[in-house]
Amino acid sequence: MPEPPANKLAGPVTPGRGTMLTGKVAMVAQKHGRLILVSSMQGKHGTKHGNGTSYSASKWGILGLMKSAATGLGQYNITVNAPIPSLVDTPLTRYKTRLAETMAETGRTPPEYPTPQQAWDVRAPTVPLKVGWLQPDDISPAAVFLASDAAAMVTGAEYERSPAVTAQRMCSLHAGVRSRRGPEEGEAA
């Protein structure tokens, strides 16, 4: 089987294919570079929302692509990493269905037409850092770091940007497992 051209990736067409082709050839030629592929917490943890399945799958694919590219491109002094933000204030956050989902995740029944402020006010108290969602400027410092010389020895890393939602989720999952199997040895029932 012939080798694929240098500017093509072998294998099926994937959402990340164009992501990798952008700049990869030039970086390999100069033996230096930084690829920063933005994923999402939904890519890491999935989503229970019907329309989010494809989004989650594509963002999970970005993480797999990042890990594979990091192992293959390291020999060229190219690092490949992924900031993974949680909910970010974008036009996709500010539509009726997403605002209602955000409010429902807290256990509250959303109004028929929730406003961004209502969603923020309901969500913020449930998040350890007490913010409803991230702002785009909350993510950019991670990308700047990953593009810098300070991150020269960082590759294949998932860099979560979350107001402690992940820590909270892990504590909840751990508590749920413990409650199903009973108290740990030495704990009071």
Residues 129 and 134: their CA atoms lie apart, in Å, by 10
Residues 31 and 95: their CA atoms lie apart, in Å, by 44
Residues 94 and 100: their CA atoms lie apart, in Å, by 10
Q: Catalytic one among 55, 76, 113, 159? A: 55
Task: Please confirm, yes or no, whether 76 is among the known catalytic residues.
Answer: no
Strand order in the sheet with 33-36: 33-36, 78-85, 158-161
Per-residue CA distances from 100 to 10, 120, 140, 156, 165 (Å): 42, 11, 27, 35, 18
* DSSP-assigned letter for residue 134: B
**Residues designated catalytic:** 55
